[in-house]
Chain A
Amino acid sequence: MNKIIDAWHSDLAWNFRNSPVAVVSFALVFVLVLAVIFAPVIAPHDPFDPSTLNLINGFSQPMTPNTYTGDVFLLGSDDQGRDVFSTILYGMRISLFVGVFAVAFAMILGITLGLIAGYVGGWTETIIMRIADVQLTFPSILVAMLIFGIVKGVIPVEHRDQMAIWVLILAIGLGEWVQFARVVRGATLVEKNREYVQAARLIGRVRWVIMIRHILPNVLSPVLVIATISLALAIIAEATLSFLGVGAPPTQPSLGTLIRIGQGFLFSGEWWILLFPALTLLTLALSVNMLGDWLRDALNPKLR
């Protein structure tokens, strides 16, 4: 209980309460995450269960009733009579799932390599950081497409669809780790010369204890900022890959897949199939990004 009170009075919490942007974006993210978690409860039907579909309901305008069940298509339906609202909820699930796991993967990889590069130095550092530099010269979406292409070629056809999500996570994660590694290495270089690290070396503590117990906790706050901003980037990257048709399979459509499907109907007048998934993606990515920006400013001692 005391901890909660302390947290409420902390500088970060105060800063949060006094930043409308942070409060609004946090509220949006919170609502979207809740919607994702409770998608099966909220959604009028499971859009991927063919038994709940009826082609008669195809291309229903928003706010028109389902001729079959009498429910209202809140955001309209697509060519197969799938409720757009439900597909968005389920699509966002895939988008967030891929985003969170890709960032987690990138974070673990980046922190480990950055910590080692910064603390050990020498040739190890040179090799890790040159790989990072080379990777930075390619746009991360290109790297992701490359990895995606290679892995897809390796996996046998029958497993492709079920592995596709994990391949996406791997591909996006490998495209994002450089950011983490660079920041962690920089922070490690600063921390390793501080006297508390020298004090630990003095008493004969081994390298990995110093790295994990002393340095790691002190380099995490910039990592938190990058993780948030990376999440927004990962969501966009996933949407881009899916939009290009190399991402989530049509059996598990993400927001990107929905936008790809929707754009085919834009010029025939069925605008809602494109617009609502696109707006959701925009809101999700923007609010996560704003939250990251706020966090960066709030944790920056220079701007205080």
Chain B
Amino acid sequence: MSTLVSVKNLSKVFDVSKPWLNRVIERLPKAHLTATSDVDFDVEENAVYSLVGESGSGKSTIGKMVVGLLQPTEGNVEINGVDLASETDIEIIKQSRTDIQMIFQDPYASMNPRWRVRDIILEPVVASNGDTEGLAEKLLEQVGLAAEDATKFPHEFSGGQRQRICIARALASAPKLIVCDEPTSALDVSVQAQVLNLMDDLKSELGLTYLFISHDLTVVRHISDRIGVLYLGRLVEEGTPDQLFDAPKHPYTQMLISSAPKIDGFGREVDPPQGEIPDPIDPPSGCAFHPRCPIATAKCKSERPALRELDDNRVACHLA
């Protein structure tokens, strides 16, 4: 298998300073929020790579940088060898745009409520002046809806059906990579299963590659070929689902897995994890996880661990 997406040293810093006048009057410095720093990973073709993390982990920021909605502050994303942020050839940009699509979290907000389903699905093709003859109907049937649904408006569908329409829109330009930003977290369990199964079918039928962004460990474990765990904008561990869930090496991964509710954990008494996620504007020194880490040492406070190879996994911990 060859590498489709290659993410190198990706960093994104947001300027979250107060307006200029307030800063002058209140004598505040500029404030910067580091959403993502130094993230490296590759996604193989026709595979599912998942990014998991809690709020503030920067997982959605990475997704937006991969599809080109945000410009990286540092580092780059190459998809099929093309870096959208630095590419100047318009023909190549146009071509790579059709190669990348995205599915969003909120099936109610991700479609223009005033457009008919046909126009919503075909927009990516219309934008690149492609052939739209009969395409919407074909795609609707492919995602398990009826061809007649093309003339309806989004509000006539349930959440799960809307997410199918979003998938149809993502497929319209025949992409290679689909970035899925929490595609099922707004859906009910029984509908989530339908959507996940559909995505799985489409992946094998069309040879798609997914970058799957989620906070739900069980979903990620089910769908992924490889998982990257993020904490405060940095990759702390990466490995295959089995390695990660059966033998997590980073203390944060361990904490995440043990604190997630288990469906067969009747009356389970867990030692709840300590503390909460620190403020990303003012992250802790050294390893960002050290204030919550049960095994942290003095070295963890002062020195940030690098992401290193450890039998097929990659892990960023001094003590792993």
User: Which A residues form the contact surface with B (CB < 8 A)?
Assistant: 194-196, 198-205, 214, 217-218
From B112, B113, B128, contact of A203 by CB (8 A): B128
Docked-complex contact A201 and B97, CB < 8 angstroms:
no
Docked-complex contact A218 and B113, CB < 8 angstroms:
yes
User: Which B residues form the contact surface with A (CB < 8 A)?
Assistant: 67-69, 93-94, 97-98, 100-102, 104-106, 109-114, 123-124, 127-128, 169, 173
Q: How far is the CA of A195 from the CA of B109 in the complex (A)?
A: 6
Which of chain B's residues have a CB closer than 8 A to the CB of A194? Answer: 109-110
Q: How far is the CA of A203 from the CA of B216 in the complex (A)?
A: 28
User: Given known contacts A204-B94, A204-B97, is B68 in contact with A199 (CB within 8 Å)?
Assistant: no
Docked-complex contact B112 and A196, CB < 8 angstroms:
yes
Which of chain A's residues have a CB closer than 8 A to the CB of B68? Answer: 202
Docked-complex contact B97 and A214, CB < 8 angstroms:
no
Docked-complex contact A196 and B97, CB < 8 angstroms:
no
Q: How far is the CA of A214 from the CA of B109 in the complex (A)?
A: 12
Docked-complex contact A200 and B109, CB < 8 angstroms:
no
Docked-complex contact B110 and A203, CB < 8 angstroms:
no
Docked-complex contact A199 and B104, CB < 8 angstroms:
yes
Tell me the smallest distance from the CB of B173 to a CB of chain A, in Å.
7
From B98, B109, B127, contact of A196 by CB (8 A): B109
Which of chain A's residues have a CB closer than 8 A to the CB of B124? Answer: 203
User: Given known contacts A195-B104, A195-B105, A195-B106, is B69 in contact with A201 (CB within 8 Å)?
Assistant: yes
Kindly report which residue of chain B lies nearest to residue A216, judged by CB atoms: B114
Q: How far is the CA of A204 from the CA of B109 in the complex (A)?
A: 19
Apart from A194-B110, A202-B100: 12 A-B pairs, beta carbons within 8 A: A195-B109, A195-B110, A196-B110, A198-B69, A199-B111, A202-B102, A203-B123, A204-B93, A204-B127, A205-B123, A205-B127, A217-B112
Listed from nearest, the 8 A-B pairs whose CB atoms lie closest are A195-B110, A195-B104, A217-B114, A203-B124, A194-B109, A196-B112, A195-B109, A204-B97
Which of chain B's residues have a CB closer than 8 A to the CB of A218? Answer: 112-114
Tell me the smallest distance from the CB of B27 to a CB of chain A, in Å.
23
Q: How far is the CA of A218 from the CA of B108 in the complex (A)?
A: 14
Docked-complex contact A202 and B114, CB < 8 angstroms:
no
Which of chain B's residues have a CB closer than 8 A to the CB of A196? Answer: 109-112
19 CB contacts below 8 A, A to B, read: A194-B109, A194-B110, A195-B105, A195-B110, A196-B110, A196-B111, A196-B112, A200-B112, A201-B69, A202-B68, A202-B97, A202-B100, A202-B102, A203-B101, A203-B127, A205-B127, A217-B114, A218-B112, A218-B113
Most buried by B among A199, A200, A217: A199
